[in-house]
Structure 1
Amino acid sequence: MKALLLAAGLGTRLRPITNTIPKCLVEINKKPLLEYWLQNLSEIGVNEFLINTHYLSDKVQEFVENSNFKNNITLVHEKELLNTGGTLLANKEFFIKEEEFFLIHADNLCFCDFEVFVDTHKKNKDICEITMMLFETGTPKSCGIVELDSKNIVQKFHEKVENPPSNLANGAVYICNNTILDYLESLNKKEIDFSLDVIPNYLGKINTFLNDVYHRDIGTVESYKQAVKDIKNFDLFKNNI
């Protein structure tokens, strides 16, 4: 199985931390966010990773060259950011032979049973082309919030609205069938926003997996500081630190 780890963002909300280091390499407990993803996914059999770069790309390249996973990583540089769907489309040949693959925003700190996540997708992949990781958020106004049916399939999606209907949030971690590549191509554009251009088209065809262990977007200084505090809980993270 393959994975796209999105790592090209500017990390403007994380400044000054990201003045000299890209967001994907911000360290939690002395380990970069990318390292957590590479380790956790490798343990369940993901053996090929595509990582896109843009901001401070030389830092990411240096990290990869010194990584234990370097032989399993392909780097692709974006001169101009393409957004989530655009990056996936631009690299469709990397995934075209995979029945399903991970699509992940690598600026998240995430722990869960990834094998169950994969199984959840496989059990419903003939009906749902995407499985979205969910988490319960304390700040629903700042997240993409979902409404589900009795089978936990996404029926409505609200992207950062003033009065969100729940606290079930999109974790920006997906498993996708390769059939979505054809849809991305049908849009006839390079920059494709997954939340705005893709998810609305797949309502009723997006399965979900609730991560009830730990998920946090390391998008702000406050969120970063909270993650540093959280990870000191050895019982929760003992297998990942």
Structure 2
Amino acid sequence: MQAMVLAAGFGTRLLPYTRAIPKVLFPILGKPALLLTLERLERLGFRRVAINLHHLPERIVSALKAADLKIETSLFFEKEILLTGGALKGAATFLCQEEATVIINGDIFFGDLDFNHLLKEHFATGCLVTMVVKRGGGNDNLLVERGKVRALRVQGTHTFCGIQVISPKLIDHLPPGPSDLIDTYQRLAPDGLLAAYETKAYICDFGTRESYLKLHEDLLYRRVHLETEPNLATPLVCLSPIQGVELRDWTFVDQQVVIGPGTLIRRSVVWPGAEIAPRAKVEETIVPPSLIFMP
């Protein structure tokens, strides 16, 4: 099996954090999201993966070099951002190596999704694309009828989950240069070329601060399982030495964090290297490194 992770985006919904770190490297329980995804794909039997890069590519390359990954990776650098459709066109040499490729948005965390069954259903339909969807997913802008996506960007029945399977022939339908994949799908949908794979698996788009924090809440309360998670006996996790600090609800404080006494931290994620001044009140936020968080 092969996959492609879309990792070139600017992450504008996560500004100002993404000015210094690409969203695919946001830590999930302390591990960069992209590395977490690659490790999970490897365990699921994927043999190779493509990654497209544009925004802060050197940070991603450095993280990949430092990781102990056995899965084969192919990097596709974009001088100008090619958007989702252009990214697939730019990686055509990789995508055409097998009958189908799983495409995963870089800001997606997936739970117990059965990729073998997903691929089996994709081949059974004979469609160019199979989109993983949820009913009532919160942004129902797909119209699904009898297992096919009939319209997109409408007031519909399902939400796209950021994971899909494509056949190599899709490349022939993509225009050269930058393009939005959804524009192409809107042309293909009336011909019944888009299949819908409905799932109840846990899938989280952590592309906003709110959804990133919600993902941590779900992980820390064990609503979703993470194979490589540390031994978390409580939803209040602090991997740095603290004294006189109050943690409430759920909290994840990573290593190498300095926190002044009298501080309250609640429903927040604190990244390595962060500094929090004494008597600060930190609630429902992300605290990045190189920032002294004042009360």
Pair 71,172 (structure 1): closer, same or farther in 2 beyond 3 Å: closer
- C-alpha distance 84-70 of structure 1, shift in aligned 2 (>3 A): farther
1:119 and 2:107 matched: no
The structure 1 residue matched to 2:218, chosen from 230, 236, 239, is 230
Instruction: State how many pairs are aligned.
Output: 227
Q: Which residue of 2 aligns with 1:147?
A: 143
More helix by percentage: 1
- Which residue of structure 2 aligns with residue 194 of structure 1? 181
Q: CA deviation at 1:71?
A: 5.7
Residues 41-99 of structure 1, C-alpha deviations (whole Å, 9 max, x = no match): 22232111111111111110011102222661122211210011111111211222311
**For residues 144-181 of structure 1, what are the alpha-carbon distances to aligned partners after superposition, in whole Å with 9 as ceiling and x for unaligned?**
x222223x111222x2x5xx233x10122111111111
Q: Which moved more, 1:169-178 or 1:31-40?
A: 31-40
1:175 aligned partner, one-letter code: V
Other-structure match for 1:165: 156
Cα distance between partner residues in 1 of 2:122 and 2:188: 18
Output the CA distance in 2 between the equivalents of 1:175 and 1:165: 21
From the CA coordinates, give the structure whose radius of gyration is larger. Answer: 2
CA-atom RMSD in angstroms: 2.0
RCO higher in structure (CA 8 A, sep ≥6): 1
Alpha carbons of structure 1 residues 238 and 57: separation in structure 2 relative to 1, 3 Å: closer
Match of 1:134 in 2: 133
TM-score by length of 1: 0.86
The yes-or-no answer on 1:183 pairing with 2:179 is no
Structure 1: 5+ residue stretches without partners: none
1:3-42 to 2 correspondences below 5 Å: 3-42=3-42
What amino acid is aligned across from residue 114 of structure 1 in structure 2? F
Identical pairs, percent: 28
Letter of the structure 2 residue corresponding to residue 192 of structure 1: S
Q: Does the alignment pair 1:213 with 2:213?
A: no
The equivalences for 1:37-76 within 5 A come to 37-69=37-69, 72-76=72-76
CA distance in 2, matches of 1:108, 1:238: 14
Q: Which amino acid aligns with 1:139?
A: G
| Cα distance, 1:17 vs structure 2 | 2.3
